[in-house]
Amino acid sequence: MASSSGSWLSRCFITLIFLQLPLHVSVTCHSRWGPWHGEALRGWSQVASVSAPSPGRFSSSTVALAVILPVLGIFILVGIYIIWKQRRSKERLLYEHAMEVENLLSDHAKEKGRLYKALKKLRRELKLKRSAANSGWRRARLHFVTVTLDPDTAHPKLILSEDRRCVKLGDTRQPVPNNPQRFDFVVSVLGSEYFIAGCHYWEVSVADKTKWALGVCSESVSRKGKVTASPANGHWLLRQNRGNEYEALTSPQTSFRLKEPPRCVGIFLDYEAGVISFYNVTDQSHIFTFTHSFSGPLRPFFEPCLHDGGKNMAPLIICSELQKPEESTVPKPEEKGLANGDVALQVDPFLLPAQAPELLPLRDMILSWPSDIGPALQGLKVPSF
């Protein structure tokens, strides 16, 4: 029995040492006959008391471990919470960006639709205006009149042809009477015709010229000294300034460019309507229109302008008959390979000037007009081409 008890005690001490617990162990064995003397007796009562150390006897490593573990747990929880918040924030930000992009795409689609509708509307309006201009030009040609130059109004440097349909600038002043009707500063000449009513149309060839001025003026315009041409002073003129730059002599002047430089210009006067329109006979397009309430006689105006360094030597020629529209002289651009996002532009056919059909016989044209206008055109003669 003694050996059994000893082995038991050995196992207790070994277990405590292995666990390395700072415990104070007191083991006391008692028998009902007194203290144990190592004899193997039955009925022993063995009592083992294990006492815990006092709080003041904890080791520093135990205290550090007890503090570090909760703090570390707290840090881990805080880190997990921060990571979760960041992920939620990123997801929210991505969602907001996705919604913003979707809204932008929706707005872009709506704006594209609006622009397409606006462009379609502008093209339709342009087509209508071009059709109206072409129709106005064709109707204006029904009022063609023959115009000649008045030599009594010509500047002394101007040279007129014998048939009085051609004028150009000479190098020297000619010995002509200095009458009140003659221009003495502006190199201009007026037409012999006086218009006090009705509609009148004439055409002037400006081929090979770099500068010119054409139109209508009042009979009462000043002929002496420098004159500012404007509607307020009785001038309704169109002028080529240089190259493809043109000006309507309004106040202030209206400058513009033309797609097709005119080789022949048509001037239309509707006295009662107060309209003076200019047309490009070359491509059958409308150039410009003046509106005014006329009073007193009006006369055609011609100014061949200065020589422009020898570039403007060609004369102005009044056409004795209606001129046929010419083929466009604007060269077509060569097709090139597209690069860097260049876009190939395609022009709708209705944006191009319509080809001028041949004039119908007057009888057929009168039949196509309204019944209240037809009788007024019965006596009108249209020259053949």
Quick check: 279 and 215 in contact, CB under 8 A? no
Q: Which of 70-84, 189-203, 364-378 has the lowest mean pLDDT?
A: 364-378
Peptide bond into 252 cis (omega under 30): yes
> In degrees to the nearest 10, what's the CA dihedral of 293, 295, 300, 302?
-80
Burial 264-296 (b: 16+ CB within 10 A, else e): bbbbbbbbeeebbbbbbbbbbbbbbebeeebee
pLDDT in tens, 46-94: 444 444 455 556 678 888 888 888 888 898 999 899 999 899 889 989 9
What's the confidence (pLDDT) of residue 265? 96
Task: Give 185's contacts (C-beta < 8 A, 6+ positions apart).
Answer: 155, 224, 225, 226, 227
What CA–CA distance (Å, rounded) separates 230 from 215? Answer: 11
Residue with the bigger pLDDT between 84 and 34: it is 84
| Residues paired with 316 in a beta bridge | 167
| Residue in the structure block whose two tokens are 């209705």 | 350
Q: CA angle 283-138-244, nearest 5°?
A: 25
Quick check: 247 and 348 in contact, CB under 8 A? no
| Residues paired with 50 in a beta bridge | 25
**pTM of the prediction?**
0.55
Dihedral sign for Cα 257, 252, 167, 287, please: positive
Quick check: 149 and 188 in contact, CB under 8 A? no
Region of 257 (left: φ > 0; alpha: ψ -120 to 50; beta: rest) is beta
User: The tokens of 305 are what?
Assistant: 């302008």
User: The tokens of 369 are what?
Assistant: 């007009």
Quick check: 168 and 195 in contact, CB under 8 A? no
DSSP secondary structure string, 13-61? HHHHHHHT---EEEEEEEETTEE--S---TT-EEEEEEEPPPGGG--HH
DSSP secondary structure letter of residue 139:
H
Element (H, E) at 7: helix 2-19
pLDDT in tens, 300-356: 999 999 998 889 999 999 998 888 776 555 554 444 444 334 444 444 444 444 444
Quick check: 189 and 153 in contact, CB under 8 A? yes
Query: In 3D, which of 262, 292, 263 has the Cα closest to residue 276?
Result: 292
pLDDT in tens, 256-286: 999 899 999 999 999 999 999 999 999 888 9
What's the confidence (pLDDT) of residue 113? 87
DSSP secondary structure letter of residue 293:
-
- Asked if residue 147 has pLDDT above 90, the reply is yes
| Residues paired with 201 in a beta bridge | 144, 268
